[in-house]
Structure 1
Amino acid sequence: MSGKPVLHYFNGRGRMEAARWLLAAAGVEFEEKFLTSAEDLEKLRNDGSLMFQQVPMVEIDGMKLAQSRAILNYIATKHNLYGKDMKERALIDMYSEGVADCSEMLMMLPFCPPGEKDAKIAAARDRAANRYLPAFEKVLKSHRQDYLVGNKLSRADIHLVELLYYIEEFDASLLASFPLLKALKTRVSNLPNVKKFLQPGSQRKPPIDEKAIAEARKIFKF
C-alpha cells in the first residue's frame, strides 16, 4: 500500500469529482480503482467495504470512508481547508451545500429522459443565473476579499470553482454578469496545485458523454 488515498468509483465525474478536486488542490496524490461492471460494485459490497452498500468510497488513513459529505469534510479538515472556527465552518458548509445542489442539477442533465430534457435544461439555466450565481457573487461583494470565508482558501472556494467550470461548459454566457466569480475562478485556477489538475492528462474527469452514461447505467443498473 502506497499510503495514498484510494478512490473507488466509476471512471467519470459524478459524486467523486469534488473529492478529486479537493485532494488535488491540497496537493495530495491519490490512486483510483475504477468500477467497470456491476460485479465490481457487488464485490465491494460483499467484502464489507461499503458501509451503506454504495459508492463513492475513499480509503484514507486506515479508514474506508463512505458518504460524500463525510469524505469531503475529512479531506478539508485534514488539509486545513475548513475554516478556523465553528462560525467559519458553518459558512463553508452552507456555501458548499449550495454548490452541491447546483452541481447535482447540472450533472444529472445528461441522464434525463429525452422528453424531459428541454424543461430540465431551462430550469437549470434559470436557477444557475437567478439563484446560485447571484448568491455567491453577493457574498464576495459583501466583503471584497479574495475568498468566500475568512479571506483564506477553503473547500467552499474549490467546490465553487469546480461548479463554475461546469457552468461554463453548460452555457458560458451565464458567467458574464458575475465579475467577482470570474475573478475567483481565475485566482483559484492559478494556484499551482489547481493549475496542475486543470492540465490535460490529469485525474480530472471530462464532461459526461454517451459512453460514460452507458458505463454508469451498466454499473449502477438504472
Structure 2
Amino acid sequence: MERKNKNSFTVSAFQFEEEFLATSKDLEKLRNDGSLMFQQVPMVEIDGMKLVQCRAILNYIAAKYNLYGKDLEKLRNDGSLMFQQVPMVEIDGMKLVQCRAILNYIAAKYNLYGKDIKERALIDMYVEGVADLNEMYLFWSISPPNEQAAKMTQMKDKIANRYLPAFEKVLKSHGQDYLVGNRLSRADIHLVELLYLVEELDPNLLANFPLLKALKARISNLPTVKKFLQPGSPRKPPMDEKCLAKVKEIFQLK
C-alpha cells in the first residue's frame, strides 16, 4: 500500500500529523530554512520548538504526556537514570538502564538465560553471533548501489558457510530441541528472528539446514510467538528495494 505524504493518527488521546518527505528537495528546504539543527530528520514541531534527534524527541514527548510515570527531570535529578538517559526499567526494586543489561536481567528472571554460568556463556556467544550477522545486513542495506551486489554475495556466503552451519552443528551435537540446556532461551529467540530475515533474503539459504528449519517451526508455534508473527503485529518486515530507493533518493545517497 502506497503511503500518502501526510497522515493523521492518534496515540492514546493525543492527535498527531505525520508528514513524509517525497523528494530530496523537501529535505533540502528543511535544511536551508534552519529547521534541522544537524541537517537530518526526523524533526518534530511541538510547543513552538523544532526538535531533532530521536532520543531527544521521544524523551520530550514522554515527559510532556507523563509517559514515564514521573517527570523526566525528576528522574534525572533523583538519580533514577544512571547515565541521564532512557530506556529505564523499574523491576524488582531496581532501576535498570542500558538495553543489554535490561534484556539480560529479564531473560534471567524468566528462565531464558540458562541454569548456570556455563550455559549463560554459551547463550551470550550465540546471541553475539546473531548480532554480528544482523549488523552485516544493516551495513548492506545502506551501502551504495555499486557495492551492494558484492556485499550481498559476501553476506550470503557467510550465512551459508559460516553462521548457519555453526548453529546447525550446535543442534546436531546434542540432538536436543533448543540451543542450550534443552529448553527455550533468549538465544533461540534471537536466532529464529535471524532465520526469518535469512529466509526473506533468500529462501534457499535454509534448504540444507533441517535442524534450523525445525527450530524455526518449533519456536514459531509457541502461542505467544505465533501471536506476535500474525499480520499486523509489531514485527517489522525487512526494507524492500522500493523503500530503500526512496530513502536514498531523499537523502541523496549513492
TM above 0.5: yes
In the other structure, the counterpart of 2:55 is 41
* Preserved contact between residue 58 and residue 71 of structure 1 (Cα < 8 Å): no
Partner secondary structure for residue 108 of structure 1: helix
Unpaired segments ≥5 residues, structure 1: 1-34
1:52-102 superposed Cα distances (whole Å, 9 cap, x missing partner):
87xxx5332263623x43232122122210000001000101111111111
Q: Indicate how the Cα distance of structure 1 residues 103 and 181 shifts in structure 2: closer, same or farther if over 3 A, else same.
A: same
Q: Indicate how the Cα distance of structure 1 residues 39 and 88 shifts in structure 2: closer, same or farther if over 3 A, else same.
A: closer
Distance (whole Å) between structure 1 residues aligned to residue 193 and residue 210 of structure 2: 17
1:196 to 212, 218, 227: 227
Higher helix share: 1
* Preserved contact between residue 195 and residue 216 of structure 2 (Cα < 8 Å): yes
Aligned-pair distance for 1:150? 0.5
Distance (whole Å) between structure 1 residues aligned to residue 245 and residue 97 of structure 2: 24
* Preserved contact between residue 198 and residue 205 of structure 2 (Cα < 8 Å): yes
* In the alignment, structure 1 residue 149 sits paired with structure 2 residue 180: yes
Q: Indicate how the Cα distance of structure 1 residues 89 and 213 shifts in structure 2: closer, same or farther if over 3 A, else same.
A: farther
1:178-201 superposed Cα distances (whole Å, 9 cap, x missing partner):
000000000000000100000011
Distance (whole Å) between structure 2 residues aligned to residue 42 and residue 58 of structure 1: 12
2:87 to 48, 52, 58: 58
* In the alignment, structure 1 residue 133 sits paired with structure 2 residue 133: no
* In the alignment, structure 1 residue 164 sits paired with structure 2 residue 178: no
Number of equivalent positions: 179
In the other structure, the counterpart of 1:3 is none
Report matched runs for 1:177-192 at 5 Å: 177-192=208-223
Distance (whole Å) between structure 2 residues aligned to residue 212 and residue 118 of structure 1: 15
Distance (whole Å) between structure 1 residues aligned to residue 151 and residue 84 of structure 2: 30
| More divergent stretch after superposition (202-211 vs 41-50) | 41-50
When normalised by structure 2's length, the TM-score is: 0.63
Structure whose CA Rg is larger? 2
* Preserved contact between residue 96 and residue 102 of structure 2 (Cα < 8 Å): no
1:27-60 superposed Cα distances (whole Å, 9 cap, x missing partner):
xxxxxxxx9533443344996669387xxx5332
In the other structure, the counterpart of 2:29 is none
1:112-145 superposed Cα distances (whole Å, 9 cap, x missing partner):
1112111110110000000000000000000000
* In the alignment, structure 1 residue 120 sits paired with structure 2 residue 151: yes
Distance (whole Å) between structure 2 residues aligned to residue 163 and residue 203 of structure 1: 16
The share of aligned pairs that are identical, in percent, is 60
Unpaired segments ≥5 residues, structure 2: 1-40, 44-51, 61-71
In the other structure, the counterpart of 1:9 is none
Partner secondary structure for residue 115 of structure 2: coil
* Preserved contact between residue 164 and residue 209 of structure 2 (Cα < 8 Å): yes
* Preserved contact between residue 106 and residue 166 of structure 1 (Cα < 8 Å): no
